[in-house]
Structure 1
């Protein structure tokens, strides 16, 4: 079981902000403000008296089943960030046969279908249902990333967006991408940045009665991607790490209550907005362009 305590998260944000100060990103007054806030948090009897929450390790299937009907709702800033890099890359590639691996509700499939003969694969029937409603007539298949229901050498392009953080074995998935790609084919990957996962950006996967649970999520560093991709025959053409603009100081109104577990970590961040502003000033996604050399 995972154990999450609101005070632990608040202190962790302060610590990350203080580390940025140690590296020279902020000035003395900011550091002193953080130290004063740490003392205040530790002295807060309400926070200290709260119970933590035991959180189960859920499954990706359950998490995305629960999220499917709201996945495309406005407000997911990761879509805008990865598309700012992915769509220009797609525009430079010739038309052909494409695979959207972990296509979800068809967010990127729609763009691929405008220029390519496209197949979409996802492990969630609920996400595929949404994709089918959005893209009638597109070939959508149920399947896993490490066992794609696609023939060898079948496509010129594989795209996979915001999915590989749920994969423990990147090497197996990269080998599968190489299997379905034709020689010289392109692989475009976006993923949640490992720094964002560290800060608690993890999909919820509630238990049968709404018990707290999280989708398994891995912090894949750039080195992890390279160690998986290079042996499979890929070479790197591009790697980008887009981040949102840093909020201006004093623009977020502080909250006084931690909220319930279902709102964590976002409600907790609002309790220490200045620490959060600096601690969360990291890339949100990583985007790779690989080419298969074989």
Structure 2
């Protein structure tokens, strides 16, 4: 179990904003407003109680999420798919593995581009939503795919749930043919640190979040290099600017945390999140023999 207290998030956001002010991004008026806002938050009785949250493994969590995973409200899709498509544009059709394929979102993109696709996922419920391909139940550390059998590996929004990147990147290198690419899109470590972790209710209503890990940019690179992969490209897309949301005085339901909490401190949230990446995208290659 973890414990999520609204003040822990709100004061953390205020602290990030204050650090930016301290290092010269904002003026005295902004800093004094943030300190005053912290005092107000500490006195707000609506923010007095936290929530006990279950930490879910990927199979349990994604089995619960499967029926609604492809909901268009998932903002990450609008960020990772354009970069994925751009990278794929330069690669000829071939044999592709969609690792942690989920409902087959990437698999459909690959098939549309002429690739022969194998999809692998550990969640039976997610695989039940996938259609029109060779989908297999399996784990990222033991892929049910032969050595040197694919030209391309894709993996979207999954590696943040892996505690150790090394064995997974080694598996990707194992199944790739020489010259093949591994295109990986993941939640940026800055986003994970700020609470971008999927929330799910259990059958009894118990709040739960998928187990997630904050891998630094260098962690991916070190794991890839150890597996014999070469980095060709790294992107850190930021969310597009949004119109300012109306401020609120209510924390909102737990399912909407931390985003509904951010609306309590819109100026601090906007300052803390300015130019902060949401995703991390890699194009790695296994060198030719």
Band of TM-score, shorter chain: over 0.9
1:254 to 242, 247, 254: 247
- Please report the RMSD computed on the Cα atoms of aligned residues, expressed in angstroms: 1.4
Deviates more, 1:83-92 or 1:21-30: 21-30
Give how far 1:90 is off: 0.4
Q: How far apart in 1 are the matches of 2:217 and 2:247?
A: 34
Confirm or deny: 8 A CA contact 1:246 1:277 kept in the other structure: no
Q: Is contact 1:196–1:280 with CA below 8 Å preserved after alignment?
A: no
Whole-angstrom CA distance in 1 between matches of 2:141 and 2:163? 11
Deviations 1:216-270 (A, max 9, x none): 100011110011110110011000000012335xx21111111232221122111
Q: Deviations over 1:166-189 (max 9, x none)?
A: 001100000000110011111100
Structure 2 gaps of 5+ residues are none
Q: Distance in 2 between matches of 1:181 and 1:67?
A: 30
C-alpha distance in 1 between matches for 2:69 and 2:54:
22
Q: Do residues 20 (structure 1) and 20 (structure 2) align?
A: yes
Q: Quick one: distance in 1 between partners of 2:66 and 2:20? A: 37
User: 78-87 vs 190-199, which deviates more?
Assistant: 78-87
Question: Aligned pair 1:157/2:152, yes or no?
Answer: yes
User: How does the TM-score come out when normalised to structure 1?
Assistant: 0.93
**C-alpha displacement of 1:205:** 4.3
CA deviations on 1:41-60 (whole Å, 9 max, x unpaired) are: 1232443xx22222222211
Runs of 4+ in 1 over 6 A off after TM superposition: none
CA deviations on 1:136-195 (whole Å, 9 max, x unpaired) are: 2x1111111111010011100001011000001100000000110011111100000011
Count of paired positions: 286
CA change 1:197–1:56 in 2 (3 A) is same
The equivalent residue for 1:76 is 74
> Structure 2 CA distance, aligned partners of 1:286 and 1:140?
26
Q: Could you list the runs of 5+ residues in structure 1 that have no partner in the other structure?
A: none
Inter-partner Cα distance in structure 2 for 1:204 and 1:247: 23
